[in-house]
Chains A and B, each alone.
Chain A
Amino acid sequence: MTHPRATPAASTDSTQQAPSTGTHTGQTVPATGLTTAPSLADLRRHLTTQLDPAARTWLEHALDEAAAHPGVHGPISPWELRLAEAGRRCGAAHADAARVLILDAARAGTDALTRVYFQGTADERRAVLHALPHLVPGPGALPLVEDALRTNDTRLLTAAVGPYAARHLAAHDWRHAVLKCLFTGVPVEHVADLGRRAHGDGELARMLGDYAAERTAAGRPVPEDLYRVLDLTEPVPPTAGPADPHGKES
């Protein structure tokens, strides 16, 4: 494990606040300023207003069914079938949100999420990644994020750098994820909690500087986003004397 200077361990701050049970119904994702990801209740409200009546009825039935019969039933559980067909039932624009809600209704934990991720299409995998911050309190689902970060599919990469990665991804892997966004053209606005994690990260600043130098040497433009992240790595200049690193917040 690496220890970034002056950066608190990313995996401790939010999970400790998470209640051990009930996160899936109350959507009490710890509010640590982690991006603007909407709550499950927001998603539900959004779909209720946007889906056409047939799709809305389908989704309500799917959610009730998942809530009544979670877990594994036969080769393909009914809620997994609903997960697979959500795209053609709700439309591509609403499929991610519908799938996240189905996963929540089925109370999918790390094992179930891992199974449906690895048995899923790219669209289903993306939905699982979006569901992680809502459904998995600890770092147990990190292998899914790491798998998505190994792909070159920008839709998966975008979903992988969400709030769950911000909370749990180790510093080295997180820096490489940021760099991969710059390589593949994923806007860094999608990197959850970028400001907090980049702040004071000298190693990330070095990597960004090296990448900029490589681009410049090749006569290629440096992505605008690179400078944006580089700015965020700057420690805030001391205004009224250095902060006491051991002191509590006042």
Chain B
Amino acid sequence: MRIFDPHIHMTSRTTDDYEAMYAAGVRAVVEPSFWLGQPRTSPASFRDYFDSLLGWEPFRAAQYGIAHHCTIALNPKEANDPRCAPVLDELPRYLVKDNVVAVGEVGYDSMTPAEDTALATQLQLAADHGLPALVHTPHRDKLAGLRRTLDAVRESALPPERVLVDHLNETTVKEAKDSGCWLGFSVYPDTKMDEERMVAILRAYGTEQILVNSAADWGRSDPLKTRKVGDLMLAEGFGEDDVDQVLWRNPVAFYGLSGRLNLDVTGTAATHEGNSILRGVPKDPHEPDPAPTAPARLPGTEA
């Protein structure tokens, strides 16, 4: 089973998680930028975080044979802090980077005017940069939040087929589907969705345009929930192809809208292909890196 987790906050996870994810079949992840639990107080703190998503984290993932991309945005919660909002002006220089496959996660937290502004601004940025958008739906007052989110999408320059509406559940899936957006579901141990309810939704709504993620972060969450959904789908009568569509082809199709998805895990070793070229013409430049059967890891790292 090949798995693409389209929403997971690996910055908050350990290398043990990467190992377990690889063993479970995860070969690609998208890490949306989000709230770190401790509120930030300045754009500089965002810059370091974005740089990490474009530097250290993809390197860490590659060591475990996992392709890592990210989405960049000012998250809804911190959009309300006037000390943080100026980071919106700095987003354009991040949105041109190779590994950025969407604007996100944007959306509503408390549905404030500041959140309205940040959402509209960032949907426009997505349209300007040829990127899709990952839109989070709020935890509180969810159905009203979904409706306001879909209104914002309709008023934006971004067509719904370039928007993934995430953290959906039984109460919001129908209206989200009717909007034409892609549908994201986060499967959690206690909150959001669980495996059984996820399978029921797949049975009711089909496997088209549905993405399942673990949204694992610093809270109680499980980076293997994607695999558990795939296993339950098979046990409940879905075919291998259905599982592959939900857990691989749908996220590839959505983030592929960016034109920047590169699922070859290169650079797992110090002799990165790019380096070898600068050190002399490679033996056969058209030969792709062999897919790692087992992740190549560093013999030792220092903190």
Contacts and interface: CB of A to CB of B under 8 A. Distances in A.
Interface stretch (B8-16, B30-38, B90-98, B162-170): B90-98
Interface string B264-297: 1011011111110111110001100000000000
Interface string A117-136: 00101110110001000000
Contacts of B278: 37-38, 43, 96-97, 100, 130
A36 interface: yes
Contact of B275 (A36, A88, A152, A190): A190
A50 interface: yes
B93 A121 contact: no
A84 B98 contact: yes
A155 B280 contact: no
A96 B299 CA distance: 26
A121 B270 contact: no
B55 interface: yes
B260 interface: yes
B262 interface: yes
A39 to B, nearest CB: 11
B93 A190 contact: no
B56 interface: yes
A187 interface: yes
A159 interface: yes
Given A85-B98, A88-B98, A92-B266, A75 B277 contact: no
A139 interface: no
Contacts of A56: none
Contacts of B302: 152, 180, 183-184
A157 interface: yes
Contacts of B280: 36, 38
Contacts of B273: 92-93
Contacts of A206: none
A158 B301 CA distance: 15
A184 B96 contact: no
A180 B55 CA distance: 19
B59 interface: yes
A152 B271 CA distance: 15
B223 interface: no
Given A88-B98, A155-B267, A93 B277 contact: yes
Given A43-B278, A121-B98, 19 more contacts: A35-B279, A37-B278, A38-B278, A38-B280, A84-B96, A85-B96, A86-B98, A93-B266, A93-B285, A94-B277, A121-B51, A121-B97, A122-B56, A122-B58, A126-B275, A153-B59, A155-B275, A158-B271, A180-B302
Interface of B: 51, 54-56, 58-59, 92-93, 96-99, 259-260, 262, 264, 266-267, 269-275, 277-281, 285-286, 298-302
13 contacts: A35-B279, A38-B278, A85-B96, A88-B260, A94-B274, A121-B51, A121-B54, A121-B98, A122-B58, A125-B55, A151-B56, A153-B56, A183-B301
Interface of A: 35-38, 42-43, 46, 50, 75-76, 81, 84-88, 92-97, 100, 119, 121-123, 125-126, 130, 151-155, 157-159, 180, 183-187, 190, 223
